[in-house]
Structure formats: C-alpha cells, structure tokens
A and B are shown apart, each in its own frame.
Chain A
Amino acid sequence: MYDTIGIWVGAFFTLAIYSFLYKENPVYRLAEHLVVGISLGYTMVLIYNTVILPKLLEPLFAGNHWILIIPGLLGLLYITRFIPSIAWLSRYPIAFIMGTGMGIGFPLTMKAYVLRQLEAAMVPLYESGMPWYEVFGNIVMIFGTLAALIYFFFSKPHKGLFFGTGSKIGIWVIMLGFGATFGFTVMGRISLLIGRIQYLLGDWLHLIE
C-alpha cells in the first residue's frame, strides 16, 4: 500500500514536470517549489543527525570536550549575516573554511592536476607490439597536448610557425575533444529521460519489466 501510493504520487509529479514542455502551469510551479523546500529540509535533518548531534552536542554534554565550543561558536557566527549591523562577523567562519581549504588543496592539486598529468604525458611513442593506430594515437596525444597548451598561452601573439600553427592545431584538437563531450552529453541527457520512462512504464504502469 505504502509503495503503491508512493509510486502514484511520484508519477503524478513526474507528469507535472513534463507538463512544462507544453506550457508553464500551476501544477508545474507547485512541483518546482516543493522540491526546493524538501531538499533543504532533508539536508537540515541530515546535518543535524550526522554532525551537530554526534560530533558537537553529544561530546559537549558528555562533558569532556569543552574545546568543541570554539568551532560551535564560530559556526554560529553565520547567523550574524541576517543582522546587517554585525553581518561582517559571518566572514570569520567563511574565512576559516576558505583559508584552510585553500591550504589543504594546494599541494594536492599540484600533485593530481599538474605533476601526475605531466608524468602521464611523457610516454614513449612506440613500444614493441603496438598497433599502428595506438602509435598514431600517441603522436596525436603528445602533439595535441602541446598544441592545446599553446592555444591557452597568453603571453605571445598567435603568429608565426610555432605559436600560429601550434594554436591552430590546438583549437582543432580542442574541438575534437568538445565534439566527444557533446556526444556524451547528448547520451547523458537521453539516459535521464530513459530512467524516467522506465519509472513511468515499469514501476507505475507495469507495461514493461
């Protein structure tokens, strides 16, 4: 019973959203507003159950973690954002999260985004037993990376053999990459539609398995 009602309600709201394709209407507007309220309400419960209660209140009331008052108070400063005269106090917790996050991120980004990628770009063009299309692929990969980097190089005009031709090849490679992204994006959007149709035809109407 619970499941049946649930699926009917779900199907109703699914169709409510699709009605937007025909025309904007009150049912769509209702669905749109509901989702904003529910998702934030859900997050509130979750944060309370997973952080505020077990990591702040319980240790505090257990009495041996008084130090946790500091992050608690720092967090409460967010509220000052709503009192214009002391709104600047809300910058403190933001600064704490922002600064430490930036600091932690720096070496790790350097490692994952730069050094690892640099290392992986240094591959031999040919190793014994490689089919021709892989060798050709490696050539495209190395020269393509270089050319695309030239395209994003702002200190020199895109003229001459190196910068001119390089950036031109670069933009071609970038366009091939974007073409792939385009194709995959189309695939992704269709997949989401497929998911909904499976829900409507299968879970709701039982027309398909």
Chain B
Amino acid sequence: MKRTVPLMIVMVGGILMMVQYFIPHQYSQVIFNNYLEWAPIVGAFALILGVGSLTRLHTHKIRRKAQNWQYSWAVLIPLFGMPLFALIIPQSLGGGSDVHGVHDFLFMHIQVPIQSTMFSLLAFYIASAAFRAFRAKSALATILLLAAVIVMLGQVPIGDVLGKWLPNTGLWILRYPNLAAKRAIMLGVGFGMLATNLKIIFGVERNWLGGAGK
C-alpha cells in the first residue's frame, strides 16, 4: 500500500503512455485526452507542498524567535497577501483598469527588479573570479580559456573592429567543435535520460519515494 501501489501507478502509467504513442486509434486518443485534462489538475495541487513547507518553516522560526526571525514576516505577509489582493480585494491603485492593483504592483515593482538584480550580481562575481580563480593550470584549462577569450571577443562589436578573423574564428568554434562536443553530450544525456525513465518506470530507481516514511 505504501510503496507497492505508487510503484504500480508509475509502472502502469508509464507503460500506458509509452504504448499509447504508437497507437493512433481513437480509444488510445480518448485515454490521452483525458490525461491531458487531468494532469494539470493533479499537478496544480503540488503547489500546496511548496506553500505548506514554506509556511511551516517560517512560522516555526517566528515562534522559536530563531535568528533573524523578523524577516520571516517578509515572507509570510506577501505570500498570503498576494492571493488576498488578487482574488478578494483586486482594487486598483492608479484608477482605471485592473492591471494596476496591489497584486501587480508587488510583482512588477518588487519581484521583477529584485529577481533581475539577483542574477546580475553574477556579473560582479565573474569579474572577481576571472582575476582570482580562473587559472590556466593545465593544458586543458588553457584551451578552455583561450577558446573562451576568442568567443568573448568575437561576440561583441569590438571584435569586428580588432579584426574580422576574431568573430569568424569564434563562430567557427561555435558551429563545429562546440557542436560536436554538445552533440556527444546530448546523445550521452539522452541515453541517460532514457535509462532513468526506464529505471523509474520499472521501479529500479526508487529514491523519489524518499522522505515520507517507510
């Protein structure tokens, strides 16, 4: 019941979908169309897991007055404020159409700038790492860095100014050796994915069951 049934669901579902692909008949299509209707509904509820564990984590923090517990309010208030403002009081801040509600304000003017900026921090770290950690320690690392420098110069306008051979060499690396490497990796990863698919369908790989008791 606890392990066997889920493993059976996986196996039956997996084989059914695999076989379905080769059968164009209407009965097989009916199964497939029903699945297309059901899967998003089941999948949507997975969000409960995320919301639940986040709420639990932060209420614990607040209750135990753990380090930096005050910030947990900064997670919980918008977490439940967003649905509140969107669904129950979707009123507008700027007047007029519904696009200017609190919900959209939080998304457009807090979420978007913060998330974009988070990623752009990497530009600073890359510069720092370029100086302090990217070393041509071995022949292979040297090739890597050389190719990187050529591609970096070739991709920006100044590369054209420095000499036409730079962007051309950069593009050649991208179109041929890079393609060969990526195709080999793709084929390997493809087989790896297929094998993982099979291992999960036939219950060889069971780690995904983990974390919910034996």
Direct A–B touching, Cβ under 8 Å: yes
* Least distance between A111 CB and chain B CB atoms (Å): 10
Q: From known contacts A72-B41, A79-B48, infer whether A102 and B197 are also in contact, taking CB-CB under 8 Å.
A: yes
Q: Contact between A44 and B213 (Cβ–Cβ < 8 Å)?
A: no
Cβ-closest chain B residue relative to A52: B44
Q: Contact between B178 and A177 (Cβ–Cβ < 8 Å)?
A: yes
Name the B residues within 8 Å of A147 (CB-CB): 180
Question: Interface 1/0s, chain A 91-127, versus B by CB < 8 A?
Answer: 1111111111011111111100110011011000000
* Cβ-based interface call for A201 (8 A): no
B1-37 residues with Cβ-Cβ distance < 8 A to A are 1-3, 5-7, 9-18, 20-22, 35, 37
Residues of B in contact with A, size category? 35 or more
Q: Contact between B2 and A183 (Cβ–Cβ < 8 Å)?
A: no
Q: Contact between A76 and B45 (Cβ–Cβ < 8 Å)?
A: yes
Q: From known contacts A2-B100, A38-B107, A100-B35, infer whether A47 and B188 are also in contact, taking CB-CB under 8 Å.
A: no
Q: Contact between A55 and B147 (Cβ–Cβ < 8 Å)?
A: no
Q: From known contacts A100-B13, A140-B177, infer whether A74 and B143 are also in contact, taking CB-CB under 8 Å.
A: no
Cβ-closest chain B residue relative to A43: B47
Q: From known contacts A99-B201, A109-B194, A192-B122, infer whether A152 and B188 are also in contact, taking CB-CB under 8 Å.
A: yes
* Cβ-based interface call for A75 (8 A): yes
* Cβ-based interface call for B163 (8 A): no
CA distance A179 to B123 in the complex (A): 17
Name the A residues within 8 Å of B156 (CB-CB): 187
Q: Contact between B143 and A179 (Cβ–Cβ < 8 Å)?
A: yes
* Cβ-based interface call for A41 (8 A): yes
* Cβ-based interface call for A82 (8 A): yes
Residues of A in contact, count (CB < 8 Å):
119
* Cβ-based interface call for B133 (8 A): no
CA distance A32 to B111 in the complex (A): 10
Q: Contact between B212 and A88 (Cβ–Cβ < 8 Å)?
A: yes
Q: Contact between A33 and B38 (Cβ–Cβ < 8 Å)?
A: no
A146-181 residues with Cβ-Cβ distance < 8 A to B are 147-149, 151-152, 170-181
* Cβ-based interface call for B181 (8 A): yes
Name the A residues within 8 Å of B116 (CB-CB): 14, 192, 195-196, 199
CA distance A39 to B141 in the complex (A): 39
* Cβ-based interface call for B131 (8 A): no
Name the A residues within 8 Å of B89 (CB-CB): none
* Cβ-based interface call for B72 (8 A): yes
Name the A residues within 8 Å of B79 (CB-CB): 37-38, 40-41, 44
Q: Contact between B41 and A14 (Cβ–Cβ < 8 Å)?
A: no
CA distance A106 to B201 in the complex (A): 10
* Least distance between A89 CB and chain B CB atoms (Å): 9
CA distance A146 to B132 in the complex (A): 35
Cβ-closest chain A residue relative to B149: A183
Name the A residues within 8 Å of B144 (CB-CB): 175-176, 178-179, 182
Q: Contact between B74 and A14 (Cβ–Cβ < 8 Å)?
A: no
Contact of B74 among A17, A34, A117, A175 (CB under 8 A): A34
Binding site for B on A (CB under 8 A): 1-2, 5-7, 9-11, 13-14, 16-18, 20-21, 29-45, 47-49, 51-52, 55-56, 68, 70-72, 74-79, 81-82, 84, 87-88, 90-100, 102-110, 113-114, 117-118, 120-121, 133, 137-138, 140-145, 147-149, 151-152, 170-187, 189-190, 192-193, 195-196, 199
Task: Sample 28 A-B pairs with CB under 8 A, ordered by A number.
Answer: A33-B72, A34-B74, A35-B111, A35-B114, A37-B75, A44-B79, A48-B83, A55-B41, A81-B52, A93-B45, A99-B14, A103-B20, A104-B17, A106-B18, A107-B22, A117-B183, A117-B190, A118-B187, A140-B180, A144-B176, A144-B177, A148-B184, A173-B177, A176-B173, A178-B147, A180-B170, A185-B126, A195-B116
